[in-house]
Amino acid sequence: MTTVRTAALALLMGAFAAAGCGPTGKVKEETIEVKENTGLEQAKQYLNNYAKGQALGSEVTSFDFVVKKVRETDPARADILEKGFADLQKPKTDTKAKAKEILKAIEPKMTGGS
C-alpha cells in the first residue's frame, strides 16, 4: 500500500510541476524604458530634500558631477549650483534656507508675452 501512495504522490507532484511551467513559446517580452534623471533634476531633488530639513549626507560627493552634467546644457544654472553647493557645505550654514534660495535662483525666468 505504501508503494501505491508513493506512486500516486509522485504522479500528483509531476502533474503540478508540469502545469506550473505553462505553455511553451508564449512568453510575453516587454521592453521597459528607464528615463535617466538630468543633472538639473538631480540637483533639484537634493535641494528640495534640504529645503524640507534633510541634513547633508554622502551625496555631497556627487555635487561636482551634477554641476558638470548641468553645465553641458545650461552653464548659467551650473554656475549658480556650483556656488550654492559650495555655500551649503560651509559650517554654520542654514541649509534649509540656503537650499530654498538656490531653488529660487535656478527656476526658469518668466518672460513677458505679447
Q: Is the pLDDT of residue 24 over 90?
A: no
Q: How far apart are CA 95 and CA 88, in angstroms?
A: 6
Query: What is the average pLDDT score of the chain?
Result: 86
Residue 12 C-alpha cell reads as 500528483
Q: How far apart are CA 96 and CA 40, in angstroms?
A: 19
Q: Which helix (H) or strand (E) holds 9?
A: helix 2-21
Q: For residue 13, which amino acid is it?
A: M
Going from N- to C-terminal start, the domains of the chain cover 39-106
Q: Is 87 exposed, middle or buried (0-12, 13-18, 19+ CB in 10 A)?
A: middle
Verdict on whether the full-model pTM lies above 0.85 = no
What confidence tier does 5 reach under pLDDT thresholds 50, 70, 90?
Answer: confident
What confidence tier does 62 reach under pLDDT thresholds 50, 70, 90?
Answer: very high
Q: Is the pLDDT of residue 28 over 60?
A: yes
pLDDT of res. 31: 85
pLDDT of res. 1: 66
